[in-house]
Amino acid sequence: MARVLVQAVAVVVLSILYISGRAESTAATVATSFIKTSCKATTYPDLCVTSLAAYGPTIKKSPQQLVQTALSVSLDRAQSTKGFVDKLCKFKGLKRREYGALKDCLDEMSDSVDRLSKSVRELKNMGRARSQDFQWHISNAQTWISAALTDENTCTDGFAGRALNGKIKASIRARVTNVAQVTSNALALINQFASKYN
């Protein structure tokens, strides 16, 4: 009798785990589908999906959470790149033009981090859709994200020309281009989000 009871309990527990696993799998599929569909509005849809896919359980199907996550990813990458540029500024043996371009880039990345930080805070305070506060906060965030994107592009512009060709230029361009692309995607997603409530 006890053995039958243990087997029955085991079957019930396994059934619950199976159903729970299927529900989680379905939720993950729904989130991934939502992210892929939303990312179609961006300039770099593949990067958009890969940079946000890990956050599917948090994003679910929430446009607001999608925008906040995309912006947080952009901020994280901008902060990391700012730290990277700061370390490069301390290298010994830099050419004067390399050092100047790096210092300018560091200033631009600092501005970018500051503007993206303001945007993240602004989105947290945006309130309910269709309210005046919502529109005001969204507009501020859009302006700061656009300015951050300009800062990032200005950083790479400082390395134009053959005189600065080399490993430093290549590594800066790769990092900053990635930040600019995720920032561009975040801007596209917030524009898409804002357009639904205009």
Q: Which pLDDT score, from 0 to 100, does residue 167 have? A: 84
Q: Which pLDDT score, from 0 to 100, does residue 17 have? A: 46
Q: Which pLDDT score, from 0 to 100, does residue 190 have? A: 95
- In this structure, what token pair is assigned to residue 163? 């005189």
Q: Which pLDDT score, from 0 to 100, does residue 72 have? A: 96
Q: What is the mean pLDDT of residues 37-63?
A: 94
Q: Which pLDDT score, from 0 to 100, does residue 29 have? A: 76
Name the average pLDDT for the chain.
85
Angle between helices 167-195 and 45-52 (to 10 degrees): 90
In eight-state DSSP terms, residue 128 is: S
Residue 22 has pLDDT above 70, yes or no: no
Angle between helices 132-157 and 63-89 (to 10 degrees): 30
Predicted TM-score (pTM) of the model is: 0.82
For residue range 140-173, list pLDDT tens digits in order.
Answer: 999 999 999 999 999 988 888 776 778 888 889 9
Please report, rounded to a whole number, the percentage of residues in the chain having pLDDT higher than 90: 57
- Residue 114's domain is classified under what CATH number? 1.20.140.40
Count of structural domains, the chain: 1
Domain membership of residue 118 as a residue range: 2-195
